[in-house]
A = this chain, B = another copy of it.
């Protein structure tokens, strides 16, 4: 039995609330249980210099956590002059995941920055962020089409993410903070609407895991992201 009483293959309650920001071209407040992430997509007509002449656009992501998103207050990263390695790793993962389902030339030479700010953290912030960021990005592209900035939707597919883990040697889906702390293996999967793998990151905390276990985790993840993609479809309907 998991600490959260959920079945091994059960997601937490997931909500995707659109248009939560008055100013952003696209936005989504995503909840995976008590984890809440505010995702905003900001269109910048002037992208970075290296984009000029490339004939394509770019999507980048930034990730941060409010100090009291966590059980104990976390110090702001600002005083250290640079995002931590963990923060940078997460924001690169979010950016790669979104770009993998986007037709970058169809964006034109523009940049979209997706900010994922964790309002409350209870495990799985990066997977919630990717899932919500897709919705914010969708709405940003819709905003651009409405204004005839682009003529076709650059999105080629959905993308969603979920964590899995081995908890007391049993594969379980969508770990909350308590489960994540106790899991022997932690894996994040970023999958597309059509089931392709965009990213897989599996880490053994102490004991190595086997190929069979990796496959079980992948199967759980696929069921989870299928459900998340269905929720994205509902949200944008």
Binding site for B on A (CB under 8 A): 21-24, 27, 34, 38, 40, 42, 44, 62, 64, 66-73, 76-85, 87-89, 92, 96, 100, 113, 115, 117, 119-120, 122, 191-192, 194-211, 214-215, 218
Contact = CB atoms under 8 A, between A and B. Distances in A.
A120 B23 contact: yes
Interface centre among A38, A44, A67, A85 (most CB of B within 10 A): A85
A23 B36 CA distance: 13
Contacts of A76: 62, 64
A205 B67 CA distance: 28
Contacts of A100: 204-208
A218 B208 contact: no
A85 B89 CA distance: 6
Nearest to A88: B85
Tell me the number of copies of this protein: 6
Contacts of A200: 200-202, 214
Contacts of A64: 76, 78
A85 B223 CA distance: 31
30 contacts: A21-B68, A23-B72, A23-B120, A27-B68, A38-B66, A42-B68, A67-B113, A67-B115, A73-B115, A78-B78, A78-B81, A79-B83, A81-B82, A89-B89, A96-B203, A100-B205, A100-B208, A191-B208, A192-B208, A195-B210, A197-B202, A197-B204, A197-B210, A199-B202, A199-B203, A200-B201, A200-B214, A201-B201, A201-B202, A211-B215
A27 B115 CA distance: 23
A30 B209 CA distance: 27
Contacts of A40: 66-68
A82 B191 CA distance: 32
Nearest to A203: B199
